[in-house]
Structure 1
């Protein structure tokens, strides 16, 4: 004879896994914001940039963003300094990245 399945415990396990995945997703999004230097932006600026990215229909622009993102994740451009020469906003992002390195030696 087969052992009856415990659907309630399976459902609870799936709900727990879904909560863990959602939590990890939120954490990774926060890490991404910090890693890119976007934490130097105000909430309104960041929300506006994300809304513009979501609502744009310019496929060439989206492809350029995808390539920059792929370059960021591949490690080819670890810092904001590499993008500073290509985009005026890069210098402000680099300035926002400067305080954490200076605080690290002081903390050590």
Structure 2
């Protein structure tokens, strides 16, 4: 006969893994803010920029496509701020 699964232990392990992944994502977002130079903006300005981007993303897919191109170029350039093209 098979040993029964400990569902509670599995669930707890999955919850811990999710917590770790969320913490890792938060750290990576902070690193991205620093790498792009956005950490020089005030927190209010940065929040405003992000809110404007979210609003524009809804109705302007062409803007999202341009942002994606710039982001791709940024990462392909090794994360250097100077790798922006066509501002």
| TM-score normalised according to structure 1 size | 0.71
Residue correspondences, number: 85
Largest Rg, 1 or 2? 1
| Equivalence map 1:32-51=2 (5 Å) | 32-51=32-51
**RMSD over aligned Cα atoms:** 1.7
Q: Distance in 1 between the 2:11 and 2:62 partners?
A: 44
Answer yes or no: is the 8 Å Cα contact 2:35–2:81 preserved in 1.
no
- Is it true that 1:79 corresponds to 2:83 in the alignment? no
Structure 1 gaps, min length 5: 88-108
Show the counterpart of 1:17.
17
In structure 2, do the counterparts of structure 1 residues 28 and 82 end up closer, same or farther at CA, with 3 Å as the change threshold?
closer
Q: Distance in 2 between the 1:20 and 1:80 partners?
A: 29
